[in-house]
Amino acid sequence: MIPKELSINSVEQVYKNIKPFINVTPLIKANKIIDETFKTNIFLKFECFQKSGSFKARGATNNILSSDKKDLQNGITAVSAGNHAIAASYVSNIFKLKNKIFLYESANPYRVNVCKNYGANILFTNANNAFDKVRKAERDGYKFIHPFDGLHTLQGSATLGLEIANQIKNLNTKVDNVLISVGGGGLISGIGSALKQFFPNVNIFGVEPDGAKGMTDSLKDNSPLRKVEINSIADSLCAPLHMPYSFDVAKKVIDQMINISDQDMIDSMLFAFKNLKLFLEPACVAGFAALKKMNSSTLKNKNTLILLCGSNIDFQSWNQIIKNSQ
């Protein structure tokens, strides 16, 4: 059962609140070439065109708007491999907040520069102790904006599900399958909880790299992993742990997890460039990669939506990933 705080009425109010600070991103029907490649009717949701470059802007904005002013007076803190750090830097900028943004030492230089352009106070940290650092900042009075857990973060992600449902209905159709990249699980939990209320029979597929399959293993154990072994080019999906709240929602809405290799994502990056003319990061194209592993009976004559969740990558980094695979 979907938690009451993620009901459509609640999410609609959140959407109304955050809408002045985010983009309504396009949802389109894919062309015939893409449909025929995967033997299904493909719809694409371009959340990569969101403020800050990813869906993370929704949850970050909702966290700020849902906080008491006194809780924000010392500023905010966040931890991320990049996309959430950029979103936290974005909201710090528009709401004029002090901040401590913890970035993994391995963070892409392009993402670091985007954070700096928003005026972020960046501190580099090892992924293994990143959450310890941000919790200390929280104890020092900074408001912690969690990258994938907590009510306000999931409500932000749920507005994306609401937006998708409204756009699909405006096309006078329905959606049968939705493929969503999974890192910490906040995105799939939020979107899935909203879409299941609009389309009860929709299949929600989570997609994880072989080298960062924390949600897959958490679901097998029926418990959120406190440590995930990570080794993947999809750094946006390399959450070092999972959390109880988002996991509890995730296990209610995920119908199946699909694991993909780094090479699967590289092939899909090239496919997206060829067919969409976009340079997309590995995490963003995970849905394309997963389609090749799905049962044809699940796809044939069905409407399948791929969420392009975000893409904070520059051409140099994109090209280097491709070159390294050759």
Check which CATH number belongs to the domain holding 303 and give it.
3.40.50.1100
Instruction: Look up the domain containing 220 and give its range.
Output: 4-54+151-324
**123, 144, 165: which is the final residue of a domain?**
144
Q: What is the pLDDT of residue 237?
A: 94
| Residues 86 and 75 occupy one common structural domain | yes
Verify that 213 and 268 share a domain, yes or no: yes
Distance of CA 234 to the CA centre of its chain: 12
Whether residue 326 is predicted with pLDDT greater than 90 in this model: the reply is no
Same domain, residue pair 130 and 272: no
CA distances to 43, 111, 178, 316 from 320, rounded to whole Å, are 29, 15, 30, 6
Q: Mean pLDDT, to the nearest integer, of 13-29?
A: 98
CA distance 213 to 228: 8
| pLDDT recorded at residue 138 | 93
Residue-wise pLDDT tens digits, 176-189: 999 999 999 999 99
Q: Are residues 252 and 278 in the same domain?
A: yes
Is residue 176 domain-shared with residue 310, that is, in the same domain? Answer: yes
- Enter the pTM of the model: 0.95
What pLDDT sits at residue 82? 86
Whether residues 304 and 221 share a domain: the answer is yes
Let me know whether 157 and 133 are in one domain.
no
Task: Over range 67-89, report the average pLDDT.
Answer: 94
pLDDT single digits (tens) 199-241: 999 999 999 999 999 999 999 999 999 999 999 999 999 988 9
Amino acid (one-letter) located at 10:
S
For CA atoms 122, 23, 194, 221, give the dihedral sign: negative
Predicted confidence band of residue 279 (pLDDT cuts 50, 70, 90): very high
Residue 37 shares a structural domain with residue 185: yes
Residue 128 has pLDDT above 80, yes or no: no
Tell whether 20 and 66 lie within a shared domain: no
- Confidence band, pLDDT 50/70/90 cuts, at residue 104: confident
Band of residue 269 on the pLDDT scale cut at 50, 70, 90 = very high
Please report, rounded to a whole number, the percentage of residues in the chain having pLDDT higher than 90: 90
Tally of structural domains, the chain: 2
Residues 185 and 155 in one domain: yes
Query: Which domain-ending residue is among 80, 110, 144?
Result: 144
What is residue 105's predicted lDDT score, i.e. its pLDDT? Answer: 87
